[in-house]
Amino acid sequence: MTASLKVAGLAFAYPDGYQALFGVDLEIQRGERVALLGPNGAGKTTLVLHLNGLLAGGVGTVEVAGLPVEKENYPEIRRRVGVVFQDPDDQLFMPTVHDDVAFGPANLGLAGAELEERVHEALDLVGMAEFSDRPPHHLSFGQRRRVAVATVLAMRPEILVLDEPSSNLDPASRRELADILRSLDITVLMVTHDMPYALELCPRSLILSGGVIVADGSTRDLLLDDRLMRAHRLELPFGFDPRNVPA
């Protein structure tokens, strides 16, 4: 089966000469949930922006479901790779929740009953169907984040990329989002500094540091490797012990 995501030898420098990636290799299989961990400045955002062609011009290759991330494939790649930003207000700009979720599929040419089915399906997946006619700015932060996820799911992507999905969520919203993410039959790449959330949701983690993947393995094993964590400026919250979390 073709991998959902395959990155080989990806190196990239910004126009000012700053080298962000030095040869990243990774492969994520269909249906995997993987956390991308790393200190600030490690290259995580640069890597994510290569997954749907928002950054290009470096060395190496990126493939989504076997499709090269190249200019001629950008429309299909951007349908297949759905990115949920850290701030949901960066994605919600229409008068109602329904209109925000419908925006992407409508731009693909969907209309009428087919479009309505796509919107209803996405809102159902995130438990927000009853808020369809609400203005997004009347929702709580946690609800807006769930709607932001729905705007991406409405495109039926191959990969769901989440940037710090647990940030600024209260405990109930954090749990609700975790339940949603566990229920999705989709490949998930979660960029996060939240080690407990990574352990809860992602059996596998990658550590990106200094522009290269320095570790790839079981999330639990990586978090329990004190020397590895310290070497790459990663810390567990005070009092949190991965050994106390059920497998």
Give me the pLDDT at residue 80, please: 94
Give me the pLDDT at residue 132, please: 97
Give me the pLDDT at residue 46, please: 94
Nearest CA to 221 out of 245, 239, 187 is that of: 245
Give me the pLDDT at residue 241, please: 93
Burial (CB < 10 A; 0-12, 13-18, 19+), residue 47, is buried
How many other CB atoms sit within 10 Å of the CB of residue 15? Answer: 6
Q: What b-and-e string marks burial along 199-221, b requiring 16 or more CB atoms within 10 Å of the CB?
A: bbbbebbbbbbebbbebeeebbe
Nearest CA to 124 out of 105, 91, 147, 141 is that of: 147
Give me the pLDDT at residue 177, please: 96
Residue 214, domain CATH? 3.40.50.300
pLDDT tens digits for the chain (247 residues)?
A: 789 999 999 999 999 999 999 999 999 999 999 999 999 989 999 999 999 999 988 899 999 999 999 999 999 999 999 999 999 999 999 999 999 999 999 999 999 999 999 999 999 999 999 999 999 999 999 999 999 999 999 999 999 999 999 999 999 999 999 999 999 999 999 999 999 999 999 999 999 999 999 999 999 999 999 999 999 999 999 999 999 888 7
Q: Is the pTM of this model over 0.85?
A: yes
Structural domain of 132: 5-244
Q: To 10 degrees, what angle do helices 97-107 and 112-125 make?
A: 120
**By the 8 A CB rule, do 149 and 183 touch?**
no
Give me the pLDDT at residue 57, please: 86
Tokens matching residue 137: 């700015």
Give me the pLDDT at residue 165, please: 95
Structural domain count of the chain:
1
**By the 8 A CB rule, do 132 and 163 touch?**
no
Give me the pLDDT at residue 101, please: 98
**By the 8 A CB rule, do 118 and 105 touch?**
yes
Give me the pLDDT at residue 2, please: 83
Give me the pLDDT at residue 204, please: 98
Give me the pLDDT at residue 247, please: 73
Q: Which residue has tokens 């600030």? A: 40
